[in-house]
Amino acid sequence: MAARKVAAKSNTSKEDLLSYYREMLLIRRFEEKAGQLYGMGLIGGFCHLYIGQEAVVVGLEAAAEEGDKRITSYRDHGHMLACGMDPKGVMAELTGREGGLSKGKGGSMHMFSKDRHFYGGHGIVGAQVPLGAGLAFADKYK
């Protein structure tokens, strides 16, 4: 008879787990709506959705500490929502409206928030790596 493997008990509270689930659901529903709007031609340029990656960013934010900086590639909507940016502001940005987080000029890949320590999504593959290294160096230097 094979020995049964006993799962380790999680030290994460039920409230935290529900919060993580709600955050993942917000990102999924947001991205579904963004996909609809893109299909209707209401989001210009490119629109790289974060569907299927929600747990990655919610886990990242669960481990993040106050003041941690974030930078990512072109699939950045989930990151913006998970770090606390207003979904209405993110959607306004995607649709090119002045009420967007970058005044409607950044679109899907180039949003930014100094308040939330979010230093953008970058459309050039790999561009976030040297920028992230520079952010880390600046923190270490200070």
pLDDT of residue 9: 74
Is the pLDDT at 110 greater than 70? The verdict is yes
Is the pLDDT at 1 greater than 60? The verdict is no
Mean pLDDT (whole number) for 36-57: 93
Which domains does the chain carry? Answer: 14-141 (3.40.50.970)
Mean pLDDT (whole number) for 100-125: 84
Express each pLDDT in 57-98 by its tens digit. Answer: 999 999 999 889 999 888 889 999 999 999 999 999 999 999
Is the pLDDT at 42 greater than 90? The verdict is yes
Residue 113 vs residues 2, 41, 80, 85, 136: alpha-carbon distances, Å: 53, 26, 9, 8, 17
Query: What percentage of the chain reaches a pLDDT higher than 90?
Result: 54
Q: Report the Cα 5 to chain-centroid distance in Å.
A: 35
* pLDDT bracket for residue 6 (50, 70, 90): low
pLDDT of residue 3: 64
Residue 122, H or E segment: strand 118-122
Query: What percentage of the chain reaches a pLDDT higher than 70?
Result: 95
CA distance 114 to 93: 16
Cβ atoms of 82 and 30 within 8 Å: the answer is no
